Amino acid sequence: MAGVDEKDREILRILRKEGRITLTELGRRVGLSPASVKNRLDKLERLGAIKGYSAVVDHAFLDEFVSAILELHFKEFDDSLRPYLSRLSKMENIEFLYVRTGESQVIMKVNVADTDELRRFIERLKAIFGLNLTFVEATLVLEELKNCWVSLTGERRRSENFPSRR
């Protein structure tokens, strides 16, 4: 990418795993002064390499106990859907939203309180897109193992995560 060098990529690799790292520590790890790191971060933000900062939060603390991957199938998928997708991207309980190739044109992850709320959310999608939305495939997430570059598998012992096959 133009305007980005290997030192910038090194900073980005560290930041995507450790978003709260101090400028001093980041500088120490990449061999730059905190002021130089700050200048590079400002540049990376201006270029759009850094799109934002957030925390990986356990959804249960937000009373969101059900996570689901939703695949949206449309009769016709074109630019006329962009305003609707933009509206979806602002919804608080949608964790990710992608336009993709394949049978379903849109895939998203939603976090809700329970399956009744999931059903109501899917009904809202049908109301938003109307008859152009032909099918919504919902897959419940049983366990989250990695999120935003953070491995979550060390939180519980393996035997608690996966039943043994005796």
**HSE-CB for 102 with a 13 A CA cutoff:** 8
* pLDDT of 66: 96
Q: Which long-range contacts (CB under 8 A, 24 or more apart) does 49-58 make?
A: 49/1, 49/4, 49/8, 49/12, 50/12, 50/15, 53/19, 54/19, 54/148, 55/19, 56/147, 56/148, 56/150
The answer on 34 and 87 residing in a single domain is no
Tens digit of pLDDT for each residue in 138-164? 999 999 888 887 787 765 434 444 444
The residue segments making up the domain with residue 77 are 59-141
Counted domains in the chain: 2
CATH number at residue 10: 1.10.10.10
- What pTM was computed for the model? 0.79
> Given the DSSP bridges, would you call strands 106-112 and 94-99 parallel, antiparallel or unpaired?
antiparallel
Give the residues of the chain that fall short of pLDDT 70. 154-166
* pLDDT of 154: 63
The answer on 83 and 11 residing in a single domain is no
Q: Does a structural domain hold residue 80?
A: yes
* pLDDT of 100: 95
Q: Does a structural domain hold residue 137?
A: yes
